[in-house]
Amino acid sequence: MNTTARLAVFGGVLALLAAGGFIVGKAARPVAAATEEPAHGGGHVEMPAAAELPGGLTSSQDGYTFADPVAEAGRFTFRITGPDGGPVTAFDVEHEKKLHLIVVRRDTAGFQHVHPDLAPDGTWSVPLSLPAAGSYRAFADFAPTGGKPLTLGVDLSVAGDYRPATFAPSRVATVDGYRVELAGDLTAGKTSPLTLTVSHDGVPVTDLRPYLGAYGHLVALRGGDLAYLHVHPESSPGAGPEVKFAAEVPSAGTYRLFLDFRHGGVVRTAPFTVTAGH
């Protein structure tokens, strides 16, 4: 995956945050939920390309499909099927893993970045807890051997009393005594430099540890349809406190950013809420 990931312009926003997108009841067991796919295929392409979608908005692209998703009993299984309809078993290693799985509720609460195991028959599986009711989006970020990198998405639902979360604009995140500050502005259709500065108990962190071959992983999700952008840091002379990124978002609007960083042997996630301008 390139350091600067680019997403195509997509004029419409899928209205998938309506209450009808959730299964309501007393049960709390997650189940796979069918989703209505957009009319066009997705992809990471150069601008302008309004006919194509940003990453993660469709479950199928270029003959590949995020298939057979099942989330139950604390485990998530699925397959990636190829142009021949059969399960894909050969994937390129990207940032030390063959597949990155991002799961987040559609209100952008409960972000998780995990790495499933691949069985010989092409079934991926990973422990996964979805404790709160609501509709979730699962993103599979991978590169089939011989093909280009893809990000496909499917919806999952958890029954129960859904209580949507709201997030005010924020450029400072605190987690486990760490403070992470975001500098830089997102501009639609342009490469935007971003700097994340990490400190712990008021002291700049200068010994970040590599996580999957990088000092940080940044995911951006567009509010509403959860258009997906996954970027990695630019070259840095040190291991903190600053981690620099270059990202391009497909349109103006509200975005949730999630920084994964590793320090003291633990991977932590710092969330932010920002607005991208024109």
Contact 64, 88 (CB under 8 A): yes
Assigned superfamily of 172-276 = Macroglobulin (MG2) domain (2.60.40.1930)
Chain centroid offset of residue 261 CA = 15
Q: Any residues with CB less than 8 A from the CB of 60 and at least 6 apart, and which?
A: 37, 41, 66, 152
Output the pLDDT for position 207: 95
* Residue 269, both tokens: 């996630």
Which residues lie across from 220 on neighbouring strands? Answer: 229, 257
**Residues 121/124/125/128 CA torsion (nearest 10 deg):** -160
Name the pTM for this structure. 0.79
- CA–CA separation, 132 and 128 (whole Å): 12
Report phi then psi at 242, rounded to 5.
-95, 140
Which strand (E) or helix (H) includes residue 182?
strand 178-183
Output the pLDDT for position 54: 82
Secondary structure (DSSP) of 43-74: ---PSP-TTSBPBTS-SEETTEEEEEEEEETT
Secondary structure (DSSP) of 204-224: E--BPBPBTTBS-EEEEEETT
Residue for token pair 């893993």: 97
Secondary structure (DSSP) of 111-135: -EEE--EE-TTSEEEEE----S-EE
The ranges assigned to domains in the chain are: 19-158, 172-276
Output the pLDDT for position 240: 84
Output the pLDDT for position 250: 85
Output the pLDDT for position 24: 26
- Kindly report, residue by residue over 61-105, the tens digit of the pLDDT: 999 999 999 998 899 999 999 999 999 999 999 888 999 999 999
- Stretches in the chain below the pLDDT threshold 50: 1-51
- CA–CA separation, 268 and 256 (whole Å): 16
Contact 143, 94 (CB under 8 A): yes
Output the pLDDT for position 211: 87
**172-276 shares the fold of 19-158:** yes
3.60.90.10, 3.90.105.10, 2.60.40.1220, 3.40.50.11290: CATH of 19-158: 2.60.40.1220
Contact 196, 243 (CB under 8 A): yes
Which residues lie across from 269 on neighbouring strands? Answer: 260
Cβ-in-10-Å burial (0-12, 13-18, 19+) of 23 comes to middle
Output the pLDDT for position 100: 95
Contact 253, 216 (CB under 8 A): no
Alpha helix segments (H runs only) across 4-136: none
